Structure 1
C-alpha cells in the first residue's frame, strides 16, 4: 500500500469518534506500530486534527471534509455500474471496498442532490465466479508482494494437478475469473480459472521480477499468440 493511501486509511479508521490503539491500526493496515506512529505524526503536522498519544490511543477531534467531486451524472453512472459489478463479482473484501466507495461518493459528490436514487443497473448470474472468491484476497496479496503459491487445480477435463505458480494478474471474463501466472511445473505461462482452484496457499517462498517471467512478458506472449492465430487487426 502506498503511503498516501495508508494515511487516508488511518483517517478513515479514527474518524468514527472512538479511541483506537496504534497496535489495532497497525494490524488493520498490516504494518508495524512504528510505521503508524510516523504516519500519525505526519498527519498531525499536516493539520489533521488527531488527538492522542503513544500507548493511549488516537481519535479524530473533528470531522475532516473532502472537497466536492466534480463528476457528471454519466460519470456517476459509470462508477455505479463498476461498483455494482464488483459487489456481485468479487470477494467480500472487494465488495466492502466497493460499498465504501459508493458511500463516499454519495456523501461528497457535488451533484448528489440531483442524482437518481436508483441507477437502473441490475447485475446477476455470478454464481460461477463466486466459487473462487475465497482465493481472491490471497491472490491479490501474492501479486502485490511476489508470493509463490501452491494450488490444487481441477482442469476442464476434470484432471487434478498440483502446481507452484507466480501469480501475475487476475482477469475477469464476464462469468469467471482467471489468474495469469508463471507455472513452475510447466516452465511457462498459464491462465488458471480461479473457480477451479481446489486449494490455494502460500509456499513460504517469494519471487522477484525475472526476465521472461513478468506480466509484461506474459502480455507480449498473448499478443504474439493472437498474431500467429490471425486475431490481429
Structure 2
C-alpha cells in the first residue's frame, strides 16, 4: 500500500470512531509496523490534521475536523448501488426510502465524470422486489422495539397453522433470501426462538423493557449457532 493510500485509510479509521484507537490496532488493520503508524500520524499532524494523542491510550480526531466529500471508484459505486437496491427490494418501505435518499446524497457529491445514469444506476444490477410486502411485514415496528429494548406481545401462526401468543424480547432481524426472521428470547419457553415475519398475525409493543447480557443477546445467540455448526462439521 502506498503512503498516500495508507494516510487516507488512517483518516478513514479515525473518522469512523468516537473513541480512541491505538497504534497497535492501526498497524494490524493496515498490515504495517507500529513505527510506520507513528511516522504516518506525525505526517498527518504536520499537514494540519488535528489528531489528538493520549500517551498509552491512542489517537482520535478532534471533533472540529471535517473532510470534503469522499469520491468513489466504479466498483465502490456499484457495491453501494447493489446495497441500496437490496434494501429497497427486500426490506420495508421506510428503509427503502431511506436507502434511496442516501443514494441521492451520494450522487450529489460525485464529480461530473461519474455523474451519469449508467454509472450510478446500471440497468444490469437488478434486485426483484416481488416478495417485499410478504416477507417484511411489521419490520418497522420490530426495528423500533429492538432499539428501545421493548418487550413484545406476539400473535403468531406456527408452521402447522396453529395460533400462538408469546411475550418475547426482540434481539435482531435476519434475512434468509425470501423471508425475514426475528431472533428473540421467548419468556414462555425461556429460550431463544426464531419467528418468521410473514407468519406474524399481530404484535403489540408493551410498556415493559428488557436488558441484554453476555449470556442473553443477539451476539450470544450467534455464538451458540457458530459453535453448533462447528461441532456438526
TM-score bucket (shorter structure): 0.5 to 0.7
What is the alpha-carbon distance in structure 1 between the residues aligned to residue 73 and residue 203 of structure 2? 42
- TM-score, scaled relative to structure 1: 0.66
Which secondary structure state, in structure 1, belongs to the residue aligned with residue 118 of structure 2? Answer: coil
Q: When the two structures are superposed, what TM-score results if normalisation uses the length of structure 2?
A: 0.66
Gaps of 5+ in 1: 1-45, 47-65
Query: Which residue of the partner structure matches residue 206 of structure 1?
Result: 209
Note if contact 2:183-2:193 (Cα within 8 Å) is conserved in structure 1: yes
1:113 aligns with 2:149: no
Which residue in the other structure is 1:177 paired with?
Answer: 180
Which protein has the larger Cα radius of gyration, Structure 1 or Structure 2? 2
- Secondary structure at the counterpart of residue 70 of structure 1: coil
SS of equivalent to 1:164: strand
Distance in 2 (alpha carbons) for counterparts of 1:188 and 1:89 = 28
Shift in Å, 1:125: 5.2
* 1:1-233 equivalence runs, <5 A: 67-110=68-111, 111-113=113-115, 116=118, 118-119=121-122, 120-124=124-128, 126-127=130-131, 129-228=132-231, 230-231=232-233
Any conservation in 2 of the 1:125–1:175 contact (CA below 8 Å)?
Answer: no
- Equivalent pairs counted in the alignment come to 169
SS in 1 for 2:68: coil
1:205 partner SS? strand
1:161 CA displacement = 0.4
CA contact (8 A) 1:132 1:197 kept: no
Query: 3-state SS of the aligned residue for 1:200?
Result: strand
- Asked if the contact 2:181–2:197 (Cα under 8 Å) also holds between the matched residues in 1, the reply is yes
Please give the alpha-carbon distance, in whole angstroms, between the structure 1 residues aligned to 2:135 and 2:188: 22
CA gap of 1:126–1:115, structure 2 versus 1, over 3 A, is closer
Q: Is the 8 A contact 2:90 2:135 kept in 1?
A: no
Which string of whole-angstrom CA distances, capped at 9 and with x for unpartnered residues, describes residues 80-134 of structure 1? 011011111111110110110111111112353366253121111542x422534
Question: CA-atom RMSD, angstroms?
Answer: 2.6
Partner of 1:55: none
Determine helix, strand or coil for the equivalent of 2:70.
coil
- 1:188-233 CA-to-partner distances (Å, cap 9, x unmatched) read 00111111111111121100123421112211221222233x13xx
